[in-house]
């Protein structure tokens, strides 16, 4: 059962860090690997896209993605931007921080908007850590995900109380099948998957309360 906001437990950042896996995809050295490990994060680095399956299945809680020099084998023209687009199409709820020092044409602006965070590659460790920590806190916050569901429903014209009530019911019961069926009547598969995946994240957060 969903509890009142004031009674919802919040995981401390220290516990969140122990639960998550972070992936860096960068063809060059990422200078902050040792610092993240020192601070307790489980972090792995690929020099290129090693396993598309791992990205599609959400084996990592957060991905730090260099947009230049990676992904050429799977997206010849767009490279890292193409990887970002594919991740978000297949798994909309996947957290991705995109970074680069390259200047990209205006036509790629829509790609950047897909990312949950954007940083210059020259940013220091504190910038990366703040961005990572903020996204991880959100990812383990029920209120954040419920707000995302409400926003997603509003964006597709489903702003009625019935739709939001059904989403809340799905989270409370830990079952998204009825929500998926309801949304599939009027929305395309990509949009349905986006909303359902957010609801599943909210379910995962509520399950932490009983562990």
Q: Which residue has the higher pLDDT, 210 or 60?
A: 60
Residue 95: beta bridge partners?
Answer: 62
DSSP element (H, E) containing 98: strand 95-99
Give me the pLDDT at residue 3, please.
Answer: 44
Q: Which residue has the higher pLDDT, 185 or 104?
A: 185
Task: Please give the Cα distance from 160 to 13 (Å, whole number).
Answer: 35
Query: 169-187: b or e for each residue (b if 16 or more CB lie within 10 Å)?
Result: ebbeeeebeebeebbeeeb
Instruction: Give the mean model confidence (pLDDT) for residues 38-50.
Output: 96
Mean pLDDT of all residues in 188-203:
91
pLDDT over 70 (residue 174): yes
What pLDDT, in 10s, does the model give residues 128-161? 999 999 999 999 999 899 998 999 899 888 877 8
Percent of the chain surpassing pLDDT 70: 90
Between helices 142-155 and 161-173, what is the axis angle to 10°?
140
Q: What is the pLDDT of residues 45-103, one digit of tens each?
A: 999 999 999 999 999 999 999 988 888 888 767 788 889 989 988 888 899 999 987 77
- Over residues 161-174, mean pLDDT: 91
What pLDDT does residue 4 have?
47
């Amino acid at each position: 059962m969903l509890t009142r906001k004031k009674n919802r437990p919040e995981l401390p950042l220290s516990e969140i860090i122990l639960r998550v896996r972070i992936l860096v995809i960068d063809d060059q050295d990422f200078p902050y690997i040792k610092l993240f490990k020192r601070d307790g994060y489980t972090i792995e680095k690929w020099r290129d896209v090693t396993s598309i399956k791992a990205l599609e299945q959400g084996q990592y809680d957060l991905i730090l993605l260099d947009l230049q020099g990676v992904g050429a084998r799977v997206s010849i023209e767009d490279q890292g931007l193409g990887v970002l687009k594919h991740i978000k199409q297949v798994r909309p709820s996947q957290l991705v921080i995109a970074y680069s020092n390259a200047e990209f044409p205006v036509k790629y602006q829509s790609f950047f908007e897909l990312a949950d965070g954007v940083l210059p590659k020259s940013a220091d460790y504190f910038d990366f850590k703040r961005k990572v920590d903020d996204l991880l806190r959100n990812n383990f916050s029920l209120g954040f995900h419920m707000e995302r569901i409400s926003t997603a429903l509003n964006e597709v014209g489903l702003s009625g109380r019935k739709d939001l009530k059904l989403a809340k019911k799905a989270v409370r019961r830990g079952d998204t099948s009825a929500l998926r069926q309801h949304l599939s009547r009027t929305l395309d598969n990509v949009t349905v998957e986006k909303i359902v995946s957010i609801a599943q994240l909210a379910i995962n957060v509520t399950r932490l309360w009983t562990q």
